[in-house]
Amino acid sequence: MSQAAAPGAPTPPVVTTETHGPVLLARIDHPPVNALGQAVRAGLLAAIEQAEADAAIHALLLVGAGRAFIAGADIREFGKPPQPPSLPEVCQRIEASSKPVIAAIHGAALGGGLEVAMAAHYRLALPGAQLGLPEVNLGLLPGAGGTQRAPRLMGALPAAELMLSGKPLAARAALAAGLVDRLVEGDDPAAAGLAWARELLAQGAGPRRTGALPVPDADGALAGLEALATETAKKSRGLFSPQRIIECVRAALTLPFEEGLARERALFLQCLDSPQRAGLVHAFFAEREVAKVPEAQAAPARPVERVAVIGGGTMGAGIAVAALDAGLSVTLLERDEPALERGRANVRKVYDALVARGRLAPEAREARLARWRTSTRYEDIADADLVIEAVFEDLQVKRAVFAELDRVCRPGAVLATNTSYLDIEAIADATGRPQDVIGLHFFSPAHIMRLLEIVVPARVAPDVVATAFALARRMKKVPVRAGVCDGFIGNRILAVVREAADHMVEDGASPYQVDQALRDFGFAMGPFQVVDLAGGDIGWATRKRRAPQRDPRARYVEVGDRLCERGWFGQKTGRGWYLYPEGARTGQPDPEVLAIADAERTRKGVVPRSFTPEDIVRRYMAAMVNEGAKVLQEGIALRPLDIDATFLFGYGFPRWRGGPMKWADMQGLPRVLADIREFARQDPLFWTPTPLLEKLVAEGRDFDSLNRAA
């Protein structure tokens, strides 16, 4: 074995070479996923030169060590000064090799990883391989020749679809699409690759350069591409890179290969420089960093196989489905037989809908339901490893449930509550084992929404926190650690931004303008649409609950209360902030709501003023960032990225903006603080700048500096 890495490369080498007769095997070994950092790129180049220089070598074989072939460019290098050799250069050198280059793919061959494989002359895949060009998810396009080579291997339209979807193809689909030449059974890419390399050499096969191939569907593909461009403009509203991907594919159809590469390079650099790329890369890492919390690193998780869910309403049933989907055994408990029957129906409804839509095979449904039991007796969950309570949101009801759990559950069982705002310490006090009590705040529908707030009370044991994070991983959730306060991270911040939205309505904006401005910003829905979807009565109950603690000087807008007093709770009652004639799911503006808002203004002597969409976004976001800073300052969220992940995965925040705190960094914190101070002239109580935000501005720092420090 010899080291093929460039001088100065770190040890251990990330690309090693071995000679197997006439074949030089280059193995990329750069855990965890063989990302194409500078050392790997230099190592690949060195391996090519080694093969070229050695007359006894007739072919080069590329394989990945560990669980991936190559997962792509090293995402951590984006935004930093580029270091040679560049990946396009490496791919060009591979393709130009005078000796055949073979890629043997197992595991992930994604982004730049697939581009390396496409620059090779021959490709095989093992059964578990995943081949894809997911750059679009990071605001990018394949920038190392992928946009020019993929169309030549699989056709322009299928290549465009692969790049626009960002979804990988499994080995068999990649074979059918023409991305790989053969599928080989087994789990050793080196053995499979060496056997094929010898076979190719025996046949006298030479280099077969992808760049020299014609695009198979060249005739007529341009028209199809235009249709795809129109469809993409509708689907990926506001996103920059999808249209650039289409431009690259157009270049593959209309320009010679070299010119196509140059076009790709120019467009790739535009994407790389875009704020969307910065936001999406932040989201990629935030999704993974959230799981790194002190307790999960300090203590091993308790084993969990048997889960009990208390309460079979929409939330409880969703949680039961999420647990069944994760391979766990689940017992659903309800207080009596009729309630249990409703719970059973709720669970079945979810699975039946999945089967009806062809998203789940009937056998898979049966396999999941085989792990499911239901009961009305607490004794039947005595052996559960973890219990999730999802009953009515009332402290006394929950305390009664926890007293029962304390009575029946085995020692060491984790006892979780799905409360969205109640005091978990008070719930834990209903048991003699507060060290086992934790909050698991799922979002509805619980089997779909990826956010899981893990609420950590003062007395909980670290291994219970670790268990909650391990469960989240199993359920493929994005777990965010939150401290105990009213609303935890998400609902607490949401309550404040909702107030800012209400203030704007009372000051003269219509709820429809507010919703439109925030949808144009990128939110999936405007805040008033969200109220109508969730049910206006929920927020009304919260406002009433909080009324005694409300600062008497605080501004309180009553328009929402006026709607609720009329029984207008949103979609479920056919009207709320919007009208929903005959069960429509999309609301229509309601002149009566505007008249109610007007009447409230008159009653309070407010002279209405107009708001531009930019005014609306500035106020809404400033409120979000200011409260986010407060949540950080109080230690409710560990890091700014935890708040970002909360809003990205639980509240429809546009992923390409990276989350509210990342958005603030990209605006510049001085600007956000200046906005808050300007708004404070009208309402100094609501717009009190958070000291942490002032401190960061004074020190010339941003929120991301707190992510790095943590």
Site of interaction with ligand 3H9 (CB under 6 A): 32-33, 35, 68, 71-76, 87, 108, 110-112, 115, 134-135, 138, 140, 142-144, 146, 288
Closest distance of CB 71 from ligand 3H9, Å: 4
Spatial distance between the Cα atoms of 621 and 623, rounded to a whole number of angstroms: 5
Closest distance of CB 260 from ligand 3H9, Å: 15
Catalytic residue, from 95, 135, 264, 289: name it: 135
Closest distance of CB 513 from ligand 3H9, Å: 37
Q: Which two tokens stand for residue 220?
A: 């007529």
Q: Report the residue number, 67 or 335, with the smaller CB distance to ligand 3H9.
A: 67
Q: Report the residue number, 132 or 155, with the smaller CB distance to ligand 3H9.
A: 132
Spatial distance between the Cα atoms of 76 and 32, rounded to a whole number of angstroms: 13
Q: Report the residue number, 73 or 354, with the smaller CB distance to ligand 3H9.
A: 73
> Are 422 and 395 in contact, with CB atoms under 8 Å apart?
yes
Spatial distance between the Cα atoms of 308 and 672, rounded to a whole number of angstroms: 45
Q: Report the residue number, 268 or 580, with the smaller CB distance to ligand 3H9.
A: 268
Cα atoms found within 13 Å of the Cα of residue 269, Cβ hemisphere only:
9
Spatial distance between the Cα atoms of 61 and 193, rounded to a whole number of angstroms: 7
Catalytic residue, from 115, 289, 295, 506: name it: 115
String of DSSP letters for 345-367: HHHHHHHHHHHHTTSS-HHHHHH
Q: Report the residue number, 36 or 464, with the smaller CB distance to ligand 3H9.
A: 36
Spatial distance between the Cα atoms of 91 and 45, rounded to a whole number of angstroms: 9
Q: Report the residue number, 110 or 460, with the smaller CB distance to ligand 3H9.
A: 110
Short-list 343, 333, 330, CA closest to 304: 330
How far, in Å, are 314, 320, 337, 350, 389 from residue 346 at the CA level? Answer: 7, 10, 14, 7, 16
Closest distance of CB 564 from ligand 3H9, Å: 44
652 exposed, middle or buried (CB, 10 Å; 0-12, 13-18, 19+)?
Answer: middle
Closest distance of CB 189 from ligand 3H9, Å: 16
Question: Which amino acid appears at position 17 of this protein?
Answer: T
Closest distance of CB 130 from ligand 3H9, Å: 7
> Are 25 and 18 in contact, with CB atoms under 8 Å apart?
yes
Annotated active-site residue 115? The verdict is yes
Spatial distance between the Cα atoms of 387 and 392, rounded to a whole number of angstroms: 16
The sign of the torsion formed by the CA atoms of 616, 622, 628, 634 equals negative
| Angle at which helices 660-667 and 613-633 cross, to 10° | 110
* Count of beta carbons in the 10 Å neighbourhood of residue 103: 29
* Count of beta carbons in the 10 Å neighbourhood of residue 83: 12
Q: Which two tokens stand for residue 502?
A: 């209400």
Q: Which two tokens stand for residue 255?
A: 């320009």
Q: Which two tokens stand for residue 617?
A: 């976004």
Q: Report the residue number, 75 or 222, with the smaller CB distance to ligand 3H9.
A: 75
- Is 129 strand, coil or helix? coil
Contacts of 552 (CB under 8 A, 6+ apart): none
Annotated active-site residue 289? The verdict is no
Closest distance of CB 168 from ligand 3H9, Å: 8
Q: Would you give the end-to-end CA distance of the chain in angstroms?
A: 40
Distance of CA 275 to the CA centre of its chain: 18
Short-list 413, 337, 344, CA closest to 376: 337
Closest distance of CB 455 from ligand 3H9, Å: 23
CA angle (540 as vertex; 538, 545 as ends), nearest 5: 100
Spatial distance between the Cα atoms of 63 and 40, rounded to a whole number of angstroms: 12
Closest distance of CB 514 from ligand 3H9, Å: 35
Q: Report the residue number, 115 or 463, with the smaller CB distance to ligand 3H9.
A: 115
Q: Report the residue number, 28 or 623, with the smaller CB distance to ligand 3H9.
A: 28
Spatial distance between the Cα atoms of 564 and 562, rounded to a whole number of angstroms: 6
Closest distance of CB 289 from ligand 3H9, Å: 7
How far, in Å, are 425, 427, 644 from residue 457 at the CA level? Answer: 6, 10, 22
The sign of the torsion formed by the CA atoms of 37, 42, 45, 51 equals negative
Question: Which amino acid appears at position 411 of this protein?
Answer: P
Spatial distance between the Cα atoms of 117 and 62, rounded to a whole number of angstroms: 8
Q: Report the residue number, 160 or 317, with the smaller CB distance to ligand 3H9.
A: 160
Spatial distance between the Cα atoms of 580 and 589, rounded to a whole number of angstroms: 9
Question: Which amino acid appears at position 696 of this protein?
Answer: L
Spatial distance between the Cα atoms of 116 and 145, rounded to a whole number of angstroms: 9
Q: Which residue has the tokens 């535009």?
A: 270
Q: Report the residue number, 77 or 406, with the smaller CB distance to ligand 3H9.
A: 77
Closest distance of CB 33 from ligand 3H9, Å: 4
Q: Report the residue number, 133 or 672, with the smaller CB distance to ligand 3H9.
A: 133
Q: Report the residue number, 171 or 500, with the smaller CB distance to ligand 3H9.
A: 171
* Kind and range of the H or E run holding 442: strand 437-442
Closest distance of CB 257 from ligand 3H9, Å: 17
- Is 451 strand, coil or helix? strand
Closest distance of CB 287 from ligand 3H9, Å: 8
Spatial distance between the Cα atoms of 493 and 503, rounded to a whole number of angstroms: 16
Q: Which are the catalytic amino acids?
A: 115, 135
